[in-house]
Amino acid sequence: MSDSQKLTLVGVPLDLGAKNLGVDIGPEAFRHQQIVEKLQNVGFDVTDNGNIECTDRKDLDPGNPRMHYLDEIIRVNEELANLTETAIHAQDKAVVVGGDHSINLGAVAGASVALEGNLGLIYLDAHGDMNTDKTTLSGNIHGMHLASLLGYGAPELIDVHGEGQKISKDNLLHIGGSDFDQAELELIKNEGLRAFTLFDLLSKNIGPLLAMIDNLASRVDNIWISLDLDVIDKIYAPGAGMPNAKGLTYREIATIAEYIGEKCNVVGIDVVEYNPLQDEQNKTAELGIELIAKFLGKDYSWYTNYMSRNQVG
């Protein structure tokens, strides 16, 4: 990757996919933490496209009890899909900051259309996000979008930015899951979806996961990364929308990100479910920025920051 790699940043302050209030201010909190300047400092030419305008829930009717705020979520995701498709056509890397995880639907749909389906998805999340309108226990769309990208569930969600599935079920790798609903477990088993859970990591160590990443990278030319901050232990990511007491450690998530950055052609990333109201000393936002850089093949950490501030001359 050249030092002049272009990157398009898009903020999506959407909180309608769940009831995790506070994630709507995530994009501006990332900017306050100097995401643009920090990514520029490690070698990216960053264009900040600002935020997609999202309607406040107080001005909306939840509508369908099995798919709350469906129309507005689809509208926002269609706009995001257009922006993502445009960025990738321009040979930019796309970085999308949320917002709740339902924004992954538009981000990946846009990338998939731009790349004519030649896209793998590495999905890091404590939850499955593979419910449908038929199996949901909550009606929250942030638990359905991954199923929709794979072609399961409500047509309204499956057909965002073009009809049909956007990711082949063979090109998904779900990492770090620890809280799946029964319907999600059945879907994973019945459809043979690739999932490397927290239990797998603790019982088998990281080696088999690295082999799964290698296998995916050998079969598709392009990879999208979706990072829900709740996959990380709340010691390191207290500002996750749903803080996780049994998530990945810093060294685990950093190692996974570095490996992906080295082995995969990552075309875009979404970082979601950041609630700055729960953060401590901005450390969740700072970790999110660090991981974006690592997933895109750049060296960024407290150590590189320390060295850049203490260079001689």
Catalytic residue among 125, 258, 279, 290: 125
228 classed as catalytic: yes
Catalytic residue among 85, 92, 100, 127: 127
Catalytic residue among 15, 129, 233, 252: 129
Quick one: CA dihedral 80, 85, 86, 90, positive or negative? Answer: positive
Instruction: Confirm if 40 and 46 have CB atoms less than 8 A apart.
Output: yes
Catalytic residue among 15, 133, 142, 181: 142
Catalytic residue among 15, 92, 101, 174: 101
45 classed as catalytic: no
Instruction: Confirm if 24 and 14 have CB atoms less than 8 A apart.
Output: yes
Maximum Cα interatomic distance, the chain, rounded to a whole number of Å: 63
Catalytic residue among 92, 100, 230, 290: 230
129 classed as catalytic: yes
Q: Give whole-number Cα distances, 112 to 16, 92, 109, 223, 232, in Å.
A: 24, 14, 5, 10, 27
Catalytic residue among 15, 100, 184, 228: 228
Long-range contacts of 82-87 (CB under 8 A, 24+ apart): 82/110, 82/161, 83/8, 83/10, 83/49, 83/52, 83/110, 84/10, 84/108, 84/109, 84/110, 84/111, 84/114, 84/268, 85/110, 85/111, 85/113, 85/114, 85/161, 86/110, 87/8, 87/10, 87/268
Catalytic residue among 15, 233, 258, 273: 273
Catalytic residues: 101, 125, 127, 129, 142, 228, 230, 273
